[in-house]
Structure 1
């Protein structure tokens, strides 16, 4: 299984293209579908102001899993509308850049720079200022977070 790790900051050009970090490009061969289809699906995140990038095989697994749920379940309908319907197939160009569609750039709040964040099976793309906001915690939130993590992982 391909796992994405690390954080990398790259510039976004005027056409919405951003270089894929070298570490993630090295994994490109592992995630490229042998039939030559797009190596990534890019979609909006559900709970944060960022984008999610999934290898095609992982995204298709997710779609298959969602298709097993009742079509009339209101939560599943919302998930399909918000997450699946926003997904765009994206390929890397010859120089290792990803074109982030305008609508998704706006959803992510991207301006000049993009932060690539490896999250295991998927990648998150963040505007640096949004990333800082997402990580900010009050002392009380920090304490609750530490307790929850220690409990969850039994550390």
Structure 2
């Protein structure tokens, strides 16, 4: 499974978002994982793939403070979300705040997972990339 593409999405103030069909088609069943990304965006995973990754994330030494910080950030915010019959799901409030999501969002494929960005933040990020290259 490879997540790819960029999809512009409108969503309601309640955090209801329509997951693009090309992304939904890569998720087995109607449940997926959403958690904080390492910036102001959200990371989404197929449930089965996430459960394999989670066991890998538990391997780092408990003695390394940076490893524990990452684990706390990822696991404390993690949510198992259900996609309804129309392809929509509701982003929990804590994740909405982390992603600083407003009225428009962008869902992007990143190979092994997908990300949900606020549209303006995604635009700013891609402009920075163009300046660097």
By the TM > 0.5 criterion, same fold? yes
**SS of aligned partner of 1:111:** coil
Which of 36, 51, 68 is the matching residue for 1:44?
A: 36
* Aligned: 1:87 with 2:78: yes
Structure having the higher strand fraction is 2
Q: Deviations over 1:90-133 (max 9, x none)?
A: 01012110111111111111111110001111000000111112
- If asked which structure has higher relative contact order (CA below 8 Å, sep 6+), I would say 2
C-alpha separation in 1, matches of 2:7 and 2:128: 22
Superposed CA RMSD in Å reads: 1.7
Q: Please list, as runs of the form range in 1=range in 2, the aligned pairs for 1:1-155 lying within 5 A after superposition.
A: 2-28=1-27, 31-32=28-29, 39-46=31-38, 48-137=39-128, 142-143=132-133
The runs of 5 or more residues in structure 1 that have no matched partner are: 33-37, 144-155
Q: TM-score, normalised by structure 1?
A: 0.78
Q: Deviations over 1:13-32 (max 9, x none)?
A: 1321111112112223xx23
Q: TM-score, normalised by structure 2?
A: 0.90
C-alpha separation in 2, matches of 1:138 and 1:72: 35
Q: CA deviation at 1:55?
A: 0.8
Would the alpha carbon gap of residues 114 and 137 (structure 1) be closer, same or farther in structure 2, given more than 3 Å must change?
closer
Aligned residue pair count: 133
The runs of 5 or more residues in structure 2 that have no matched partner are: none
C-alpha separation in 2, matches of 1:25 and 1:67: 27
4+ long deviations beyond 6 Å: none
